[in-house]
Structure formats: structure tokens, C-alpha cells
């Protein structure tokens, strides 16, 4: 896993890229979709395209319903190659209008450019052979934009591994699987959200390893760090994915783990808006100067300052052997917030900050559950990251979630996800037809071709599973839902399954014609999940006591403090309690009970 691709995209430090597209569609990156950053703000502006207009070229070519109608000419290819050379372009993206249906022109141009230039050339029929020209163009441009940066990084990584006698590494992808280094180099866009995806894989592995003791079958992952919080839904323990993600205001239409991010983390700054309402984030105090309690010159009140004043964190506690917390600095920062927000005292401000921050996280959780037809009350909340376990029970109470899971190694769960992720490859192809008139034989043939394509990625390795899905919609709709496909393909069964899936997600179904739009195949090679355990004690004993302010209490309560390593397996700790370890702090409020599983996972359950 890495942050190289996402940082290159967010900071605009990728390659100098050119785009070649069909005549008449030169400005597709600029036009985009009708969606606006802020519906009611007439001054709102979109991010500038990754490729400015002077590096976008249009060639005459055309594909019709019956196939290729106009081939790209040798003269135009020569001219565009000359301009690319003059502009000292580092990478080229090619996206012709209907290349998902017939890629002849794209392949012809790619071969010409590869023969005459020594730079990467990416074509949309290899990156994303699907409908929607804007998303397909954007994905191809992103891939070309990232290729030189990623190739340099991955080649250096491979070289250093060889020098140390280490096997060539697998690379984490945004869909929650790992891939061969060569595969990641060929499609760097697939790695763009690898870090957050690895955390969700770690949450999935934790939930599965404790399935005998955990009552819930579906889970919500909560990864709270210093600047933001990522949430995702695990449907019956399985990762959910989407092709409708955005990174740095750029659409990423490939398959990625369905993650919702909110700008609320441990370092998120509390502030008061013009109406006098208390807000938290998205601005962050960062690591330097950091929250006021770091005593490094920062004066902004943050979630961490609130946690310190509430007693969740200990005064003078050391974080990472670098920062010693100063409660008096936190008190002063929260006093300023309380005065500006017209609150009674800094402790009330601290309570308000926690309430506002967790409400924002709750909205993100509802977006990946309720808005997709899932009930969060039937889920367990898997909390990790540096701050996730500290807010998990308060957030769970707001959502009527009764079970919270704190994994071992929760502060580095993304790293654990990396080593427990399966090798996974995916291939897709647009095939538009109504299910009434579709040919089962033709669709089955296309699925077989896609299966051959993903199988080739494994070489001689044994594939554990192949899965098929189809993107379906009612006639006239513009967006689809994904439905699992049985082998062999049967359009009548698919029609019935789509009606059921649509009703599950939206609460009703229609009698309209059902269209099939895109076929997908995923191939997986399972890997053994390594054990993730921590040391446990023979008996459970608190190591200290301190006053803690809980949301459900009136004033601070003397609360026992435990070390995670001082808790015995199968011993129960009734709240209120605080459980500390080097990576994070776990809060067990009143009317909640915590117990340690054999593998070191802590389960916290509500008694109400």
C-alpha cells in the first residue's frame, strides 16, 4: 500500500500529460457532468482538468452501431505525434468516443505512438472499456498522469527488494485485493485508494476471525486518524465496492472499496460559525504545531484537546514517545471556544465537540448504510486508527448499534490488511441490451472472455474463485445497480434477481423493461489470514483511576484505567472504564461491557 498515487493526484505532481480524443470532444474534461460543487453557490468553481486545453488533441474517427466507420488517418497521427514531441509531453492518454465497442482506432494510434515515442501511452479500451465517455476519459487521463510517477516508485521498490534478497512485493489496490507489481505498473489508477482499502480488509479479517463470538453478521468499519475518518460497510462480512468514487474532484470510475470520508479526526479544529453554532473540521491542526495540548505553539482547540479535558486521555501522557500532553493548554483553548459559542465552561465545549464530531461521522455511516438500503442497527462497529476506539461507543449509541469491535493492532490495521488481502483481478466490458432481447449465448461468451482475461493475470497460480456481476437498470434510467450472475447466464433469472435487488435498495420495484449495461468478472486467489494477536494477562486488574466525563453522566466519574495487556481472556469489564495501549485509547462508557477474545480482539456491548 502507498500514498504515492493519491498524493500525486491531490497535489497535482503527476506527469505532463496529453489527451487525444475524437473530433468534437476535445473539451470533455472541462465540460464534465452537470453536477456542481455547491448547488446554490453561483460562484463555485470546479477543479481545473489534469490536462489543459493546449495539450488536448482531437482526431477524426468514428465507430457506429455496426462497427468501425472511419479509421484514424496516418497524416493526423503524424501531426499529433509532432505536436506531442514539441510540447515535451511525458505521458499520453487516448480515449475515442465508442472505443469500448470497437477499439481498432485506439489500438492503431497506440501502436503508432509507441513506435515513434518513448513515453507511456494509455488507451481507454484497456483502462475502462465501459460507457460514459467523461468518466472513461477521466480514468484514462488519471492513469496516464500517474504512470511515470508510479513506474519510477515501483521500479525503485523492486530494485531494493532484489538487492536485499526479498521477493518482489505484491501491491495493494483500491478494490481491496493485491496485485503483482507488473499489474500495478500497467494500471496505476487501481492503487489510488490502497491505504484506506487496506484498513477495510483488516476490519473484515478481524470480524471473520471473531465470528464465533460476535452476534452481528454485517459490520461498519470506522478508521479515525488525525485529519479524517473513513467508514465502509461490510455486507455479511464481505467488502462492498463502488465505481462511483471521486478523488481530488476527479471521478475514479474503476472498482474501489466503497468508502465515505469525512473531515473529522483527532486533530480537527473546533470553530464557531457566523450563526454561533459549534463546528468541527474539516481544517486540521496537523502534527505541527498540532492541537493546543501538544504545547508546540498551537492554540486551536481540537478533538484531542476535548478528549484530554474529558479525561479520556491522561494529563502529561506521552504520545508516540514524542509529545507530552498538557491539559492546561487544552483548557485554555476550549475556554476560548466556550466563550465564542456562549457555552457555560470548557468542559461543556469539550462535550459539544465530541457530539458534533460523532454526528458528522454518523452521517457518513448513514450514507453507506441507510442510503443503500442497509440498517446500521443490525451491524457491529469495527473501530481502529489512532482515534477510532476513543469515539466508537458514543457513535454507536447515536446509531443504536449495540456491538463495538476493537481489533488487536488497531493502530496499524491497514498494515495488517495488506498482509491478509487476497490477490484479486477484475475485468469488465459494456454490453447494452434489454434483457428481453439479449442473447444468453452471446453474453455467456463475453463472460468467458472476461474470465480468460483475469485468469491470465494469475499465470500458473490456482484461482480460488471466479465471480460474475452485471450492471442493470430499468429502461430510461441513467445509473445501474450491481447484481450477482449465475453460470450459465440466464436472462429470465437475471430479470427476477434485478427486481428483487432494486426493491431491497429502494423499497419498490417497477414493471419497466430491464436493461443490461456492463458485465464484470473478478478472480481471487485466497491467502491465509495471519493471526493478529496481542499479549493478554492471567487476571484483569486496573492499573490506575482518574476522573472521566462521559456523555451519559452528570459530571466526572472516578473511572478504572486498564492496560490492554492487563486484561484476561473472557473476563468482563463493566463500564465505565478506560483501556489504554500504545496505539490508541478505548472508552467503555456506563451501561457498556467489554470482554477480551482469544485473539486479543475486544468486544464492547451495550446493556440497554
Question: What pLDDT shows up at residue 558?
Answer: 94
Q: Given this model, what pLDDT does residue 358 score?
A: 94
465: nearest Cα among 475, 450, 455 = 455
Contact 330, 336 (CB under 8 A): no
Indicate the pTM of the whole model: 0.88
363, 203 Cβ separation under 8 angstroms: no
Cα distances from 443 to residues 56, 223, 364, 499, 517, in angstroms, run 36, 40, 37, 20, 11
Residues 6+ apart with CB under 8 A from 212: none
Backbone φ and ψ of 387, nearest 5°: -120, -10
Express the helix, strand and coil content of the chain in percent, nearest 5 each.
Answer: 35, 25, 40
pLDDT at position 211 is 64
State the DSSP code for 569. B
Quote the CA–CA distance of 312 and 308 in Å, as a whole number: 6
Round to whole Å and give the CA distance between 408 and 205: 11
pLDDT of the residue at 39: 78
pLDDT at 1: 64
Q: Which residues does 506 contact at the CB level (< 8 Å), separation at least 6?
A: 373
Tell which residue, 480, 507, 498, has the closest CA to residue 242.
480
Distance separating alpha carbons of residues 150 and 187, to the nearest angstrom: 10
Alpha carbon distance 350, 334 (integer Å): 7
Q: What is the mean pLDDT of each run of 10 residues along the chain (608 residues)?
A: 84 95 96 81 86 97 92 97 97 97 96 96 96 96 96 94 93 94 94 91 85 81 92 93 88 93 91 94 88 93 95 88 90 96 94 94 94 92 94 95 91 88 95 93 96 91 93 94 94 95 91 96 89 71 92 82 88 93 91 89 90
Cell of 586: 478505548
Which residues fall within 8 angstroms of residue 384, CB to CB, at 6 or more apart?
199, 202, 203, 221, 222, 223, 406, 407, 410, 411, 413, 584
Which contacts qualify for 590-593: CB closer than 8 Å, 24 or more apart? 590/550, 590/552, 590/553, 590/557, 591/552, 592/393, 592/404
Domains along the sequence of the chain with CATH: 3-164 (3.40.50), 423-525 (3.30.1490), 552-597 (no CATH)
Query: By the 8 A CB rule, do 53 and 15 touch?
Result: no
pLDDT of residue 555: 79
Specify the DSSP class assigned to residue 86.
Answer: H
pLDDT of residue 63: 94
**Parallel/antiparallel/unpaired status of strands 544-548 and 245-247:** unpaired
Q: Which ranges of 117-178 does DSSP label H, i.e. alpha helix?
A: 124-127, 133-163
- CA-nearest of 597, 605, 574, 465 to 521 is 465
Q: How far apart are CA 233 and CA 381, in angstroms?
A: 9
The per-residue DSSP string of 300-366 comes to: --BHHHHHHHHTSS-TT-EETTTEE--HHHHHHHHHHHHHHTT-SSHHHHHHHHHHHHHHHHHHHHH
* Cα-based distances in Å from 387 to 219, 234, 418, 571, 579: 18, 21, 20, 24, 13
**Which is nearest to 552 in space by CA: 394, 406, 399?**
394
Amino acid at each position: 500500500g502507498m500514498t504515492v498515487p493519491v498524493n500525486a493526484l491531490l497535489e497535482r505532481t503527476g506527469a505532463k500529460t496529453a489527451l487525444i480524443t475524437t473530433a468534437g470532444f476535445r473539451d470533455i474534461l472541462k465540460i464534465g457532468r452537470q453536477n456542481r460543487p455547491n448547488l446554490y453557490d453561483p460562484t463555485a468553481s470546479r477543479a481545473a482538468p489534469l490536462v489543459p486545453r493546449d495539450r488536448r488533441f482531437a482526431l477524426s474517427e468514428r465507430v457506429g452501431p455496426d462497427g468501425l466507420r472511419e479509421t484514424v488517418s496516418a497524416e493526423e497521427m503524424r501531426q499529433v505525434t509532432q505536436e506531442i514531441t514539441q510540447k515535451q509531453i511525458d505521458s499520453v492518454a487516448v480515449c475515442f468516443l465508442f472505443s469500448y465497442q470497437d477499439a481498432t482506432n485506439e489500438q492503431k494510434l497506440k501502436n503508432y505512438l509507441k513506435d515513434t515515442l518513448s513515453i507511456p501511452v494509455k488507451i481507454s479500451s484497456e483502462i475502462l472499456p465501459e460507457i460514459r465517455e467523461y468518466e472513461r476519459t477521466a480514468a484514462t487521463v488519471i492513469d496516464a498522469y500517474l504512470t511515470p510517477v508510479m513506474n519510477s516508485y515501483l521500479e525503485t521498490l523492486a530494485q531494493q527488494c532484489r538487492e536485499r534478497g526479498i521477493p518482489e512485493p505484491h501491491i495493494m489496490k483500491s478494490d481491496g485485493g493485491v496485485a503483482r507489481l507488473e499489474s500495478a505498473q500497467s494500471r496505476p489508477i487501481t492503487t489510488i485508494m490502497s491505504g484506506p482499502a487496506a484498513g477495510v480488509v483488516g476490519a473484515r479479517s478481524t470480524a471473520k476471525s471473531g465470528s464465533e463470538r460476535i452476534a452481528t453478521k454485517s459490520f461498519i468499519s470506522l478508521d479515525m486518524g488525525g485529519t479524517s475518518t473513513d467508514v465502509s460497510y461490510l455486507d455479511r462480512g464481505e467488502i462492498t465496492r463502488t465505481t462511483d468514487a471521486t478523488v481530488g474532484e476527479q471521478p475514479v470510475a474503476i472498482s474501489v472499496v466503497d468508502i465515505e470520508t469525512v473531515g473529522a479526526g483527532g486533530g480537527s479544529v473546533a470553530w464557531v460559525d457566523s450563526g454561533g453554532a459549534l463546528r468541527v473540521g474539516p481544517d486540521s491542526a496537523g502534527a505541527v504545531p498540532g492541537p493546543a495540548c501538544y504545547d508546540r505553539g498551537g492554540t486551536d482547540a481540537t478533538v484531542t484537546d476535548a478528549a484530554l479535558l474529558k479525561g479520556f486521555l491522561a494529563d502529561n501522557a506521552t504520545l508516540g514517545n514524542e509529545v507530552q500532553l498538557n491539559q492546561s493548554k487544552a483548557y485554555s483553548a476550549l475556554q476560548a471556544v466556550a466563550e465564542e459559542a456562549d457555552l457555560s465552561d470548557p468542559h461543556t465545549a469539550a462535550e459539544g465537540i465530541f457530539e458534533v464530531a460523532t454526528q458528522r461521522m454518523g452521517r457518513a455511516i448513514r450514507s453507506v448504510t441507510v442510503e443503500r438500503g442497509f440498517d446500521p442497527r443490525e451491524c457491529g462497529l469495527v473501530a481502529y486508527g489512532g482515534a477510532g476506539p476513543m469515539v466508537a461507543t458514543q457513535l454507536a449509541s447515536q446509531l443504536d448499534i449495540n456491538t463495538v469491535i476493537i481489533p488487536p493492532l488497531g493502530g496499524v490495521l491497514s498494515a495488517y490488511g495488506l498482509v491478509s488481502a487476497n490477490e484479486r483481478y477484475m475485468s469488465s466490458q459494456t454490453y447494452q441490451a434489454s434483457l428481453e432481447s439479449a442473447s444468453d449465448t452471446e453474453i455467456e461468451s463475453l463472460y468467458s472472455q472476461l474470465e480468460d482475461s483475469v485468469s491470465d493475470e494469475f499465470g500458473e497460480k490456482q484461482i480460488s474463485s471466479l465471480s460474475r456481476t452485471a450492471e442493470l437498470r430499468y429502461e430510461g434510467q441513467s445509473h445501474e445497480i450491481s447484481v450477482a450472475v449465475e453460470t450459465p447466464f440466464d436472462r429470465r433469472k437475471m430479470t427476477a434477481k434485478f427486481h428483487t435487488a432494486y426493491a431491497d435498495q429502494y423499497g419498490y420495484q417497477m414493471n419497466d423493461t430491464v436493461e443490461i449495461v456492463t458485465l464484470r468478472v473478478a478472480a481471487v486467489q485466497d491467502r491465509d489470514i495471519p493471526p493478529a494477536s496481542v499479549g493478554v494477562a492471567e487476571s484483569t486488574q486496573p492499573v490506575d483511576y482518574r476522573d472521566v466525563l462521559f456523555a451519559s453522566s452528570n459530571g466526572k466519574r472516578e473511572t478504572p484505567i486498564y492496560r490492554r495487556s492487563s486484561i484476561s481472556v473472557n473476563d468482563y469489564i463493566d463500564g465505565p472504564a478506560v483501556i489504554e495501549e500504545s496505539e490508541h485509547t478505548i472508552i467503555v462508557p456506563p451501561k457498556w461491557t467489554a470482554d477480551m477474545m482469544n485473539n486479543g480482539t475486544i468486544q464492547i456491548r451495550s446493556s440497554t
